[in-house]
Amino acid sequence: MWLEAEEKIAINQSYSLENRRFDRANLAQVRDQIKFWRSELALAEMRELGRSRRRVIRVVPRDL
């Protein structure tokens, strides 16, 4: 859906029909949404494979 919107905006961001002007969505906002959803997809795929982008390491300081 977002990729289709980006394509349509890139081809023609505004158009006129019977003396009325119509503007499509802001291209920057659409690209931000595409970036967001690609990131979410990558995270979901990593979780499905049992991996995570974030790693937690526990450290216990000891006085030897």
User: Is residue 47 helix, strand or coil?
Assistant: helix
Report d(CA 10, CA 25) in Å as an integer. 10
User: 4: closest CA among 30, 29, 22, 26?
Assistant: 30
At 8, the pLDDT band (50, 70, 90 cuts) reads confident
Residue 38's Cα: distance from chain center in Å?
Answer: 5
Per-residue pLDDT of 22-31, as tens digits, reads 777 777 888 8
The residue among 45 and 5 whose pLDDT is bigger is: 45
